[in-house]
Amino acid sequence: MLASTHKKPSKKLKKQKLVDATGKDQNSTNAHSSDVDVKSRTLFVGNVGVTAKKTHLLKLFRQFGKVQTVRLRGITPADPGTSKRLAAIRESFHPKRTSCCSYVVFENREDALNACSLNGTKFKENILRVQICDDNAELEPSKALFIGNVPFDAEENDLWNTFETFGQIESVRLIRNSETGMCIGVGFVNFKSTDGVALALMADSVQVKNREVRVQRYARTKMKKWQTQQSEVKPVPKKEKKPKERKRKEADNAKVKKSAIFQGSKVHPLKQKKKRNKKLSESQKMIQQIAPR
């Protein structure tokens, strides 16, 4: 029986680069579109209690539709050397942090939009901030306040409890340090109407955790200016030294090194004491004993 000359197809097939009619890589285009699709049905849930579990959030949000994943983020460990994941497993949280954030991914965008109705509701003593991730809408200046001089250990609940006396609040946000997770002293309060802003600005003094805060009307220009000030300053690159300057500096360093070497004390030739002859001194002693002056 003749052996078949037909070769079996290799299991390890190289991934072909698919290019569409416009010349773009379809693989990268598909990956980008998938990321946009996931983002459009993902909810950001802020001010979640640190003691909340994924199962608790799953039970809360699945009433609106099928939930694919729930992720907890923004945990601040009690020990800076401990990873956030290990701190979450051990439940070793910073004593001054009582909240974290979460991302909830739905199967359908419509379900995610309906779940946004939980914004402002209380969940385990914390008032949630629920927002869809592809919502890039800015705050309305007529309904928002800029809060400065906020205590570093403040939480979103503190701002809610303080400013809800002026009107119904839409959302509260504190700006936090990405490494430590603590508040950097800045926050924003978004009211449902302009009346809340007017009443808060008329107040003589507003305190958060027994500390007087600075209340100003929100402005986009101030926000952009603040963002530029808070952005990381890139280190200025050192200028390359010119050859003459480099040689001069090397010569100066060589002089310093040379002078630093221990050479001992030098004696002036005129000041140097002459050594006495020991034999002569002994004979003089004998003469003095025999014939003293």
Q: Which CATH superfamily is domain 35-136 in?
A: RRM (RNA recognition motif) domain (3.30.70.330)
Cα first-last separation, the chain: 142
pLDDT of residue 167 exceeding 60: yes
pLDDT for the residue numbered 264 = 56
pLDDT for the residue numbered 132 = 92
CB-CB contact of 128 with 99 (8 Å): no
pLDDT tens digit sequence for 204-251: 899 999 999 999 999 876 555 555 555 544 444 444 545 666 667 777
pLDDT for the residue numbered 267 = 58
pLDDT tier at 150 (50, 70, 90 boundaries)? very high
pLDDT for the residue numbered 194 = 93
- Do the two domains 35-136 and 138-219 of this chain adopt the same fold? yes
Poorest-pLDDT segment among 98-102, 152-156, 177-181, 187-191 = 177-181
pLDDT for the residue numbered 159 = 94
Indicate the domain borders of the chain.
35-136, 138-219
Mean pLDDT of the chain: 78
User: Class of the 138-219 domain?
Assistant: alpha beta
pLDDT tier at 92 (50, 70, 90 boundaries)? confident
pLDDT tens digit sequence for 42-79: 999 999 988 888 999 999 999 999 999 999 888 888 88
pLDDT for the residue numbered 233 = 40
The answer, as to whether pTM is greater than 0.75, is no
pLDDT for the residue numbered 9 = 53
What whole-number percentage of the chain has pLDDT above 90? Answer: 42
Angle (nearest 5°) at CA 116 between 123 and 131: 90
Query: Tokens for 283?
Result: 């004979």
More confident residue, 279 or 62: 62
pLDDT tens digit sequence for 113-148: 999 999 999 998 899 999 999 877 778 888 999 999
